Structures are given as C-alpha cells and as structure tokens.
Amino acid sequence: MMNKLSFKIGMLFFVFIVLVEVLLFFVLYTNLANNQVDEVMDNLLARGNTHRDVLEDNYSRSTMDHVRIMEAASDFVVVITDTQGQVLVKSNPIEYEIEQVIQRVIQAPIDSKGEIVEKRWKDKKYIASDSLIVIDNEIKGHVLMFAKTNKVKNMLDQLSYQFKIIGLLTLILTIITIFILSKLITAPLKRIKEASEQIYNENKQIDLNTKRKDELGVLARTITRISKDLDQLKAERTEFLSNISHELRTPLTYIKGYADVLNRPDLSGKDTRKYSLIIKEEAEQLSLLVKNLFDLAKVDQNKFDINKEWVSLCEIIQSVTERMRPAFNEKQLTIDTKCPADLIALVDPSRLQQVLINVLDNAKKHSYENSVITLKVKEDLQHINIIVDDEGEGIPKEEIPYLFNRLYRVEKSRSRLSGGSGIGLTIAKEIVESHGGVIHIDSEIGVGTTVTIALKKGEISE
Ligand SMILES: Nc1ncnc2c1ncn2[C@@H]1O[C@H](COP(=O)(O)OP(=O)(O)OP(=O)(O)O)[C@@H](O)[C@H]1O
Ligand SMILES: [Mg+2]
C-alpha cells in the first residue's frame, strides 16, 4: 500500500493542500483577528472619549445618568469613577474583571487623556479603555468603557471551524483521489509491469490492447510492439540459424564426398583434377558464404561503415565489368554498358562495387547463354539510376517482395549451378539504403529481370 504509486501521489496532493490551507488559515486568522480587535478598541476608546468630553463640559449627576442610560442599551459597559476609584455611575453590575481594571487604573494612572487599558482579548472577558475627566487642569475622575471579547472570539471560532471542515474535505478528497488514481494510473501500470515481466521471464508474446490516448496508452502499445518484434526476431533467428547450417552443410558434404572419391586408388589423373577442382570451387563458395555472413553480421550491428568519396561512376562500372568479363565469357554473355563519362557521385566505391557485383552475378547466373546484359546509368532531376537488365529466366511476381530477405532464394533446391546462398541482395539493399538510395526489381518470367538502383541526387550528386 505504502509503496503504491497512487498512494504516493495522493499523499503528495494531501500534504500540499494541507500546507496551503495552514498557510492561508494563519494569514487570514491573524489578519481578521487583528482588524476586528483594532476596530473594537478604536470604537471603544472613541465612545469613552466622547462621554468624557460631554462630562468635561457639564460635570453633573444628570449628565452621568444620561451616559449610563445610553450605554445600558448598548453592547458596552460604562463605569464612571472618581479619582479614588469610587464608582459614581455604572451601566451594568460590576464584575470581578471590571473591578480589577478599575483598581489598576487608580493605582497606575495613564499618561494621556485617554487610552486602551486592557488589550488581552484572548484571555480576558473584556477589553477596556480609560478616559480621564479633566476640568481646570484637575483630574475629576475616569470614564471606563468595557467591550465583551466573546464576539471576536466567536467570529474566530467560526473561522477555525470552517477551516477544519475544509481540512476534512481535503482528507476525503485525498482518499477519493487516491482511489481514482489507483484505478486510472496504477492499474494499467500494474498490467504493463506484469506484461513486461512476462516478456522478460517467459519470453511470451503479450497483447496489452488499450484504447487510451495518453502516455500510458503509448507505453502499453510500445511494449506490445516490442514483444511482437521480439517474438518475430526469435522466429527469424531460429529460421536463420537453420538456414545457415544448411548452407554450410551443403558445400561441406560435397567437399567430403569428393575427397572420399579422390582417395579411391583406381582414379585416373583426369578425374583427380576434375574432383579437386570441384573441391576447390566448393571451398571458394564456402569462404564467400562466410564473408557474406560476416557482412550480414556487420549490417545487423550497424557496423557497416560507408566511406563516401567523390568518384566517377563510369570508372567503378568499368572496373566491375572488367573483373567479371571472364565469368561472362564462360557463358558467352555480352555486357553492354552505357554511362555518361563525366558523372561523378559521392559514394563508397568499394561498397558500390560490391552491390554491382552482386547484381551482375545474379544476372549472369540466371541468363541464358548468348544473351545480353545491359548496364546503363540514367540521370533524372532527382536521381542517378543504375539499371541492370538481363534476358534471363525472370522471377515469378509473387517471389519479388521476398528477394531482399536474408537467405531467400527463388529456386529452393540448392543446385550447385545456380547455387547462391541468398545473401547477395540483402547486403546490396543494405548498402544502397545506407547511401540514402533504393533498390528495386522488376521481372517477367521468360523475358528477363531489371534491377534499378536509384541514388538520390541531393546527397550523391555530380
Ligand atoms: N537477375 C535475376 N534473375 C532471376 N532470378 C534472380 C535474379 N536476381 C536474383 N534472383 C533470385 O533472387 C534470389 C536472391 O538473390 P541473392 O543475390 O540475394 O542470392 P543468391 O544470388 O542466391 O546468393 P548470393 O548472392 O548470396 O550468392 C536468387 O536466389 C534468385 O532466385
Ligand atoms: Mg546473388
């Protein structure tokens, strides 16, 4: 309970409100009380002084009676004494506290003609003022005025009562807030927490379907997505590993088989050469595969560095076609290149070569003998397009979307003749995309295949 988020937020809310309330109460209470008390005191003294003034003008029994009658009807008490403290007139019976004040002013007379002589409104029943009656420079007596303090006290009691009510309301509100918060925040958070634990511990795919549009909704959807991705990744990894082991096993089986054949004593010199050549080819294939796998691993770790420089595209194309010519000749393929001689681009030359070799190697593998492969570079406003066309067997439409998947091959049987491992295009795509470009394939069965590499001119321009 104490560790619950809703409780913590609720408590925070509560503490803040109580703090604000206490502060407010303190300021209001003292201000109100002081104002009220000041007003009562001013009023009291003014009344006393007025009576005194009248008495100074006409110091007689009847004037005193007059004052007494006036105050008998009011909330105040008036007592008129002589200099000895003898009560001459009183509007109410003399209570103990009033008597005490009279004694005090007689024993310790005030310095001025009138002032407040009892201010302690919190402890006393009355506050009091004293006005001296002075006639011909001689003190004749005192007009003592008293006002009850219970009015002020009542008002302040009322105030603190109201603040207590507000305090109580705050408490109730806090409890409601904690309750709502725990429903609104903690419950979904708890679900998310449990779900993430499930992903972590049981590797389970979870679905936190929620329609919430706030941060919690986003969090829930993100976690759901992560769990799906994780699941897919796991499936892909398993498939990838089984594909890889298959890829590795095939050439190894050949190598082992032909090595066994080579051991046969009755083998002719011609066969020996033939089989050792096959072994060599398989071993080359294997090392190419390992190299490609290594590249793939780098792609996955984003360690695939691209070092761009300004180079002539035609020179790159030239060097690639030169390198591949012997392989093309083997199949009597013609390679036809068209490229604007002055075109330079900001690319990584060796990576771009890698792409072109992959694409041309595919074209070669899937072309019929004596056909033509065209490689042309075309510019438009925004792109430099490198287009490789072959007149080969083509690719079924439904296979095209998967060509760039790792280890994907159209002819699933692993014939040694066309035998690639299905990594070439994956790496090509990765390289082209890290140059900010796109690669795509169009193909028609029996007509041929077109691979287009479109590099954006913005970054890779002349
Ligand atoms: N020009 C093409 N004509 C017909 N099929 C093609 C062509 N290019 C690619 N393919 C098909 O796409 C698949 C994937 O190509 P990719 O280059 O990725 O792998 P691969 O050539 O089989 O192996 P690797 O390039 O790794 O040695 C190929 O196996 C092939 O079936
Ligand atoms: Mg290939």
Q: Give the total residue count for the chain.
A: 462
Pocket residue to mutate for ligand 1, from 362, 399, 415, 417, most atoms within 8 A of Cβ: 362
Say if residue 462's pLDDT is above 60.
no
Q: How far away, in angstroms, is 306 Cα from ligand 1 center?
A: 24
Which ligand lies nearest to the CA atom of residue 420 in the structure?
A: 1
Nearest C-alpha to atom 17 of ligand 1 is from which residue? Answer: 424
Q: Which residues contact 189 (CB under 8 A, 6 or more apart)?
A: 5, 216
Q: How far away, in angstroms, is 347 Cα from ligand 1 center?
A: 24
Q: How far away, in angstroms, is 390 Cα from ligand 1 center?
A: 13
Nearest C-alpha to atom 23 of ligand 1 is from which residue? Answer: 420
Pocket residue to mutate for ligand 1, from 290, 409, 442, 447, most atoms within 8 A of Cβ: 409
Which ligand lies nearest to the CA atom of residue 442 in the structure?
A: 1
Pocket residue to mutate for ligand 1, from 410, 412, 418, 452, most atoms within 8 A of Cβ: 410
Domains of the chain: 5-154 (3.30.450.20), 215-297 (1.10.287.130), 304-456 (3.30.565.10)
Q: How far away, in angstroms, is 424 Cα from ligand 1 center?
A: 7
Nearest C-alpha to atom 21 of ligand 1 is from which residue? Answer: 420
Which residue, chain included where needed, has tokens 């050949």? 254
pLDDT of residue 418: 54
Residue type, 266: D
As a whole number, mean pLDDT of residues 406-428 equals 75
Nearest C-alpha to atom 25 of ligand 1 is from which residue? Answer: 424
Range of lowest pLDDT (85-99, 288-302, 370-384, 406-420):
406-420
pLDDT of residue 256: 93
What digits encode the pLDDT tens for the residues 54-81? 999 999 999 999 999 999 989 899 999 9
In terms of pLDDT, which residue wins out, 88 or 298? 88
Q: Pick the atom of ligand 1 nearest to 424's CA.
A: 25
Spell out which residues have Cβ within 5 A of ligand 2, the ion: 362, 420, 424
pLDDT of residue 461: 46
What digits encode the pLDDT tens for the residues 156-204? 888 889 888 988 888 898 888 878 877 787 888 888 888 888 888 887 7
pLDDT of residue 367: 94
Nearest C-alpha to atom 5 of ligand 1 is from which residue? Answer: 395
CB 188 within 8 A of CB 212: yes
Q: How far away, in angstroms, is 423 Cα from ligand 2 center?
A: 7
Pocket of ligand 1 (CB under 6 A): 292, 358, 362-363, 366, 390, 392-393, 395, 403, 408-411, 420-426, 449
Which residue, chain included where needed, has tokens 């109100």? 32
Q: How far away, in angstroms, is 442 Cα from ligand 1 center?
A: 13
Q: Pick the atom of ligand 1 nearest to 419's CA.
A: 22
Pocket residue to mutate for ligand 1, from 333, 393, 425, 452, most atoms within 8 A of Cβ: 425
In this prediction, what percent of the chain has a pLDDT beyond 90? 48
pLDDT of residue 46: 96
What digits encode the pLDDT tens for the residues 326-367? 989 999 999 999 999 888 899 999 999 999 999 999 999 999
CB 165 within 8 A of CB 145: no
Which ligand lies nearest to the CA atom of residue 366 in the structure?
A: 1
How far is 142 from 63, CA to CA, in rounded Å? 14
How far is 278 from 255, CA to CA, in rounded Å? 8
Nearest C-alpha to atom 29 of ligand 1 is from which residue? Answer: 409
Q: How far away, in angstroms, is 17 Cα from ligand 1 center?
A: 71
Q: How far away, in angstroms, is 416 Cα from ligand 1 center?
A: 13
